[in-house]
């Protein structure tokens, strides 16, 4: 290899973008940040902070580094994850990974001393600002667990809701509002974050209809491929869910099949899980699943107990209906098992992780997480002052 070739291979690439963070249990805000970052380049490298640095600068993590890496690697727009990236973004680390720019939301993130984690990158002109996803954060979700709140739940989608949406009349259903539909279109994009990718269907239980909310890439669902279907709540989208979808993707690829995921509505999840489950509402849960690189489509409001009639509504032929290793108190697959379509997914690395397990992790360390909530409030004041100063210095922004 010549000297020129060596320099070229190690040069910084403007098209390789960096983003970093804690990425504690996956939510659609993380996915939204990665999506926007990916739209700025051809590759996205994702730095993931260590458990120790997060504890020092923010508070205790819910998910371990290994679990958080599994979540990041499962995002459609992530090219490569970088474990144990420094909490304060270091240009040396970006240079080592040949990334010129770091992307972050339009909020401020500070370290344990109240210093802006991105000040050095801003001073170097290597910082790109994107819009922070509103109304969702790890802190918000922890708060729901601690307060046992159900105010975030949303009702099932009815045919009346769909008729109002399709006729472009005003609809009060949050999933069919303009902003929500635009977000579905964004999260359904392919790995470049720009072009059509996977499908989003809506199921109305009252009329038993399967309707298309977001059309997929025309080459994806029109090729006559068969479908592997899996459904569930997918609450607090975690490595158990993510790895199950990865295993299913591998099975589907062997027979050139599509992977379609059904999301049960909040009413059904709460009916069978009780308490304040789901912690994430259907909008939040569906966006988490939609960003997965292991799927080809989702069904919003899929029936808790899939029937042959529902399966026949799916555009392509369903070869198998899968369920993961998590047991159900009320077997929803009685009818499907009679058809011979049902198959148990089988064990995988994170099959012991459940939504309840994650909630228990939080409740077991309630005092530490409550302190984290208080600390977040203290840091928010500092971060607001930094943001106000930056806005005053850059009025055009």
pLDDT digits over 81-125, tens only?
A: 999 999 999 999 999 999 999 999 877 677 777 888 999 999 999
Q: Which tokens sit at 362?
A: 């939080």
With contact defined as beta carbons under 8 Å apart, do 46 and 97 qualify? no
pLDDT at 324: 80
Give 53-93 pLDDT, tens digit per residue: 998 888 888 899 999 999 999 999 999 999 999 999 999 99
Q: Predicted confidence band at 3 (pLDDT cuts at 50, 70, 90)?
A: very low
Give 136-167 pLDDT, tens digit per residue: 666 777 778 878 888 999 999 999 999 999 88
Name residue 296's beta-bridge partners.
none
Residue 22 has pLDDT above 50, yes or no: yes
- Burial (CB count within 10 angstroms: exposed 0-12, middle 13-18, buried 19+), residue 55: middle
pLDDT at 58: 81
Residue 178 has pLDDT above 80, yes or no: yes
Which CATH number applies to 147-359: 3.30.365.10, 3.40.50.620, 1.20.200.10, 3.10.20.440? 3.40.50.620
Q: Which tokens sit at 193?
A: 């974050």
Chain region(s) in the chain for CATH 3.40.50.620: 3-134+367-393, 147-359
Separation CA 120–CA 89 (nearest Å) = 8
What's the whole-number mean pLDDT along residues 325-338? Answer: 83
pLDDT at 295: 98
Give 231-243 pLDDT, tens digit per residue: 999 999 999 999 9
Q: Of all helices (H) and strands (E), which one includes residue 13? A: strand 13-21
Architecture of domain 3-134+367-393: 3-Layer(aba) Sandwich (3.40)
């Amino acid at each position: 290899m010549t000297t020129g070739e060596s320099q070229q291979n190690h040069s910084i690439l403007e098209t390789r973008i960096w983003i970093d963070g804690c990425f504690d249990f996956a939510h659609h805000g993380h996915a939204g940040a990665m999506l926007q970052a990916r739209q700025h380049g051809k590759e996205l490298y994702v730095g993931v902070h260590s458990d120790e640095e997060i504890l020092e600068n923010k508070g205790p993590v819910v998910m371990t580094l290994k679990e958080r890496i599994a979540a990041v690697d499962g995002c459609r727009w992530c090219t490569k994850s970088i474990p144990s990236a420094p909490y304060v973004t270091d240009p040396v680390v970006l240079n080592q990974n040949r990334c010129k720019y770091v992307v972050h939301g339009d909020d401020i993130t500070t370290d344990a001393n109240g210093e802006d984690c991105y000040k050095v990158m801003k001073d170097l002109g290597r910082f790109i600002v994107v819009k922070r996803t509103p109304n969702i954060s790890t802190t918000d979700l922890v708060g729901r667990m601690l307060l046992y709140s159900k105010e975030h739940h949303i009702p099932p989608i009815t045919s009346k809701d769909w008729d109002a949406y399709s006729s472009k009349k005003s609809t009060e259903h949050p999933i069919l509002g303009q902003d929500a539909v635009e977000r579905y279109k964004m999260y359904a994009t392919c790995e470049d974050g720009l072009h059509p990718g996977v499908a989003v269907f809506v199921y109305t239980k009252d009329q038993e209809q399967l309707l298309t909310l977001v059309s997929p890439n025309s080459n994806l669902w029109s090729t006559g491929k068969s479908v592997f279907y899996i459904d569930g709540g997918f609450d607090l989208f975690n490595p158990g869910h993510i790895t199950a979808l990865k295993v299913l993707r591998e099975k589907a690829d062997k027979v050139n099949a599509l992977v379609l995921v059904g999301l049960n509505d909040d009413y059904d999840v709460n009916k069978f899980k009780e308490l304040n489950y789901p912690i994430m509402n259907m909008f939040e849960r569906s966006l988490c699943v939609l960003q997965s690189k292991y799927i080809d489509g989702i069904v919003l409001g899929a029936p808790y107990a899939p029937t042959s009639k529902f399966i026949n509504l799916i555009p392509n032929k369903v070869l198998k209906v899968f369920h993961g290793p998590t047991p159900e108190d009320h077997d929803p697959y009685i009818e499907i098992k009679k058809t011979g379509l049902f198959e148990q997914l089988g064990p995988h690395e994170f099959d012991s992780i459940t939504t309840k397990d994650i909630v228990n992790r939080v409740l077991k360390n309630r005092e530490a997480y409550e302190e984290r909530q208080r600390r977040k409030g203290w840091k928010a004041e500092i971060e607001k002052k930094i943001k106000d100063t930056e806005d005053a210095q850059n009025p055009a922004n």
